[in-house]
């Protein structure tokens, strides 16, 4: 039987890994991409596009292109998160029969587990194509602060995609496993996860908040919109499709500025002026300007860190290690601020957007070894305790008993190959 998969089902991107005799491998799609956008687009021809082709559809057909469902999965329609998302998302959300959320596109409605199942099915297809055999079992990761409803909705998505979900594993636990923690060591590690839509800090205890690369993109897009308005007397915020293009350009510029000091970009035909003349946007942007813009936002992550540290009763400098997770930790500014706050260089030898799937694959192979003839694997435990953000807020009321996370089993010496 084929090895079980480790799947990081992310808000922005998903990653699939396998851990077998040759170590941990990220399985790329046919074009060599390691990150599969968690985006599903319903094409007028009736096709359902997933991943990169779907992500491109955001720029052309925002109304029928669904993303970031992980923010909403397992939440009631009337929750504040869903209400806020309705204002922000260009696609339509409706109330389902049991107060759940439905996505409406091209005359059909879909539950959120159904949307996630499209992503998981694609991930599974990529893995099968790569491995040249069928795969039916997987470990899927979720944020540590997901509640039971969110976990079971994720599990349901796996089942709809035809997967036998061996375990729902916490993302920070997976990242810790990827770096070989969990051999019963008493080290205290922080997992600093700044992805596309959320920021999560885990230090034995954890808290999560909506803060991520998306928010930085919006700040940049606002700046571009202002520049465009000043220049052409047209506000691109009036047109959701134009704004979507600005947002995509902002994200591109932000990512470029992680490796370059300066970028120039030009968006043609962002709008049309008098007599149908095409209005273009030209925008030059320096890393220093991005950092000025992003610093207060990234700073909010450290407020959350402060709260988590207080609950844990330790100082940032007392930690033995800090693990970077999430694409946004590629920003030099984030790395600097993390190093300064924790007083040490964070661990980042495993790509921060792949590390969770790596750990999930190690867990999957421990739960379902694909070569049972080798010596039985020694089992160890990772115990990350957790408290939710709501608990943190209520910390004055009561210092609540920390819940032990389900102990995870893994090989004593995880075979691991950095990408």
Query: Which residues form the catalytic set?
Result: 8, 70, 171, 193
Q: Which of 222, 230, 354, 231 is nearest to 294 (CA)?
A: 222
| Residues 179, 346 contacting (CB under 8 angstroms) | no
What is d(CA 41, CA 31) in angstroms, rounded to the nearest whole number?
A: 19
Residue 263 and residue 173 in contact, taking contact as beta carbons nearer than 8 Å: no
Residue 208 binding Mg ion, by CB under 5 A: no
Nearer to ligand ADP, 10 or 411 (CB): 10
For residues 349 and 367, give the distance between their C-alpha atoms in angstroms, rounded to a whole number: 25
For 85, 127, 165, the CA distances from 419, given in Å and listed in that order, are 35, 17, 25
* Sign of the alpha-carbon torsion through 241, 247, 253, 256: negative
Contact 338, 324 (CB under 8 A): yes
Q: Can you tell me the distance from the alpha carbon of 282 to that of 219, in angstroms, rounded to the nearest whole number?
A: 17
From the list 78-86, 238-246, 253-261, 311-319, the region that binds ligand ADP by CB under 6 A is 253-261
Other CB atoms within 10 Å distance of the CB of residue 59 = 14
Q: Which stretch binds Mg ion (CB under 5 A): 5-13, 99-107, 200-208, 264-272?
A: 5-13
* Smallest distance, ligand ADP to C-beta of residue 194, A: 8
* Residue span 187-226 as binding mask against ligand ADP, x where in contact by CB under 6 A, dash where not: --------xxx--------------xxx------------
Here's the x/- map for ligand ADP, 2-31, by CB under 6 A: it reads as: --------xxxx------------------
DSSP state of 345: P
Site string for ligand ADP, 361-400 (x = CB under 6 A): ----------------------------------------
Stretch that binds Mg ion, among 10-18, 68-76, 108-116, 132-140 (CB under 5 A): 10-18
Decide whether 20 or 251 has the Cβ nearer to ligand ADP.
Answer: 251
Nearer to Mg ion, 199 or 342 (CB): 199
236 binds, among Mg ion, ligand ADP, none (CB under 5 to 8 A by kind): none
User: What are the C-alpha distances in Å from 320 to residues 22, 271, 313, 314?
Assistant: 30, 52, 15, 12
Q: Is 326 in the site for ligand ADP (CB under 6 A)?
A: yes
For Mg ion, which stretch binds (CB under 5 A), given 7-15, 203-211, 314-322, 365-373? 7-15
Q: Does 330 sit near ligand ADP (CB under 6 A)?
A: yes
Residue choice 255, 297, 314, 389 for contact with ligand ADP (CB under 6 A): 255
Q: Rounded to 10 degrees, what is the CA torsion of 328, 34, 32, 133?
A: -170
Q: Does 197 bind Mg ion (CB under 5 A)?
A: no
* DSSP-based three-state secondary structure for 13: strand
Residue 227, number of CB atoms within 10 A of its CB: 14
Does 195 interact with Mg ion (rule: CB under 5 A)? yes
DSSP secondary structure letters along 57-95: HTTT-GGGEE--GGGTTT--TTSHHHHHHHHH-SSEEEE
Find the binder of ligand ADP among 20, 251, 351, 391 (CB under 6 A): 251
- Identify the sign of the CA torsion 352, 202, 344, 412: negative
Binder of residue 214, out of ligand ADP, Mg ion, none (CB less than 5 to 8 A by kind):
ligand ADP
- Distance in Å, CB of 108 to ligand ADP, minimum: 25
Scanning 94-102, 227-235, 241-249, 321-329 for contacts with ligand ADP by CB under 6 A, the matching segment is 321-329
| Total of residues contacting ligand ADP (CB under 6 A) | 21
| Binding residues vs ligand ADP (CB under 6 A) | 10-13, 35, 195-197, 212-214, 251, 254-255, 258, 326-328, 330-331, 353
| Binding residues vs Mg ion (CB under 5 A) | 10, 195
């Amino acid at each position: 039987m084929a090895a079980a998969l480790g799947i990081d089902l992310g808000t922005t991107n998903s990653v699939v890994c396998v851990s077998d005799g040759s170590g941990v491998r990220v399985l790329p799609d046919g074009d060599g991409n390691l990150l599969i956008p968690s985006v599903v687009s319903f094409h007028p021809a009736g096709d359902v596009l997933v991943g990169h082709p779907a992500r491109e559809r955001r720029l052309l057909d925002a109304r029928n292109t669904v993303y970031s469902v992980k923010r909403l999965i397992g939440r009631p329609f009337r929750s504040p998160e869903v209400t806020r998302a309705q204002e922000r998302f260009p696609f339509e959300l409706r109330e389902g029969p049991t107060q759940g959320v439905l996505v409406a596109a091209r005359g059909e409605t879909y539950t959120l587990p159904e949307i996630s199942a499209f992503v998981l099915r694609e991930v599974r297809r990529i893995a099968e194509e790569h491995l040249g055999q069928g795969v039916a079992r997987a470990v899927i990761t979720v944020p540590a602060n997901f509640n039971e409803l969110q976990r079971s909705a994720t599990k349901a998505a796996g089942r709809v995609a035809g997967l036998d979900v061996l375990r729902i594993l916490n993302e920070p636990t997976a990242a810790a496993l990827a770096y070989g923690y969990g051999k019963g060591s008493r080290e205290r590690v922080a997992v600093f996860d700044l992805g596309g839509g959320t920021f999560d800090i885990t230090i034995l205890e954890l808290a999560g908040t909506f803060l991520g690369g998306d928010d930085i993109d919006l700040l940049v897009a606002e700046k571009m919109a202002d520049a465009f308005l000043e220049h052409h007397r047209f506000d691109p915020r009036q047109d959701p499709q134009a704004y979507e293009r600005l947002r995509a350009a902002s994200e591109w510029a932000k990512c470029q500025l992680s490796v370059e000091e300066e970028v120039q970009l030009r968006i043609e035909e962002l709008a049309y002026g008098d007599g149908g003349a095409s209005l273009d946007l030209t925008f030059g942007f320096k890393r220093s300007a991005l950092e000025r813009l992003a610093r207060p936002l990234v700073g909010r992550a450290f407020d959350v860190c402060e709260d988590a540290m207080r609950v844990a009763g330790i100082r940032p400098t007392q930690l033995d290690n800090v693990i970077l997770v999430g694409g946004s930790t590629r920003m030099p500014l984030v790395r600097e601020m993390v190093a300064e706050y924790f007083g040490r260089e964070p661990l980042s030898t495993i790509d921060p957007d792949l590390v969770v799937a790596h750990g999930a694959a190690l867990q999957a192979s421990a739960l379902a070894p694909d070569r049972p003839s080798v010596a039985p694997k020694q089992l160890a435990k990772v115990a990350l305790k957790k408290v939710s953000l709501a608990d943190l807020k209520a910390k004055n009321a009561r210092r609540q008993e920390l819940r032990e996370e389900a102990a995870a089993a893994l090989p004593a010496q995880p075979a691991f190959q950095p990408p």
